[in-house]
Amino acid sequence: MKIEELPSEYLDVRFQIDIAEAKLPPNFTIITAFNPQGKILTIEDNLAANHSLELALRDLSVAIFGVTGGSIDMAHSEPGFACEADPGVILALARRWQQLAIYQVEGDELYLVSCKNGDKMRLNNGFRARVLKFG
């Protein structure tokens, strides 16, 4: 799926972060296991998938922290994780959990990355401007 074919909501994403802003690493990738292929699952199925993803991330032996991505008003949100692992590794995990896209943060730049082909698009306004709440 090309970047331009991803749901437009992905471009307007907002975040809630489980750590303090001062503790944010300079570069990290954000991933969730919620709603594979964009299909809405039950909360139980989504939580089970996210738990499996968390275990896979912990196996990488890198620091991870909670991140919830969602709509501007957070009426729709999907809990997930951020970590400093190689973005290619996270992309492979996202494909395993049948996600459409992941986000990469480099400094304060925010990128949307298609899981289908790895296409990457820089989003306007940067990452911190999209954070609604730090831990």
Number of domains observed in the structure of the chain: 1
DSSP 3-state assignment of 130? helix
Contacts of 117 (CB under 8 A, 6+ apart): 1, 2
Spatial separation of the C-alpha atoms in residues 78 and 33, rounded to whole Å: 8
One-letter amino acid of 9:
E
On the CB side of 83, CA atoms within 13 Å amount to: 25
The pLDDT of residue 2 is above 90: no
Q: Which residues pair with 110 in a beta bridge?
A: 105, 123
Q: How does pLDDT run across 18-63, given as a tens digit for each residue?
A: 999 999 999 999 999 999 999 999 999 999 999 999 999 999 999 9
pLDDT at 1: 67
Q: Is residue 135 part of a domain?
A: no
Spatial separation of the C-alpha atoms in residues 123 and 22, rounded to whole Å: 22
Q: Which domain holds residue 17?
A: 3-130
pLDDT at 121: 96
Spatial separation of the C-alpha atoms in residues 50 and 64, rounded to whole Å: 13
Q: How does pLDDT run across 64-86, given as a tens digit for each residue?
A: 999 999 999 999 999 999 999 99
The pLDDT of residue 4 is above 90: no
Q: What is the pTM of this model?
A: 0.96
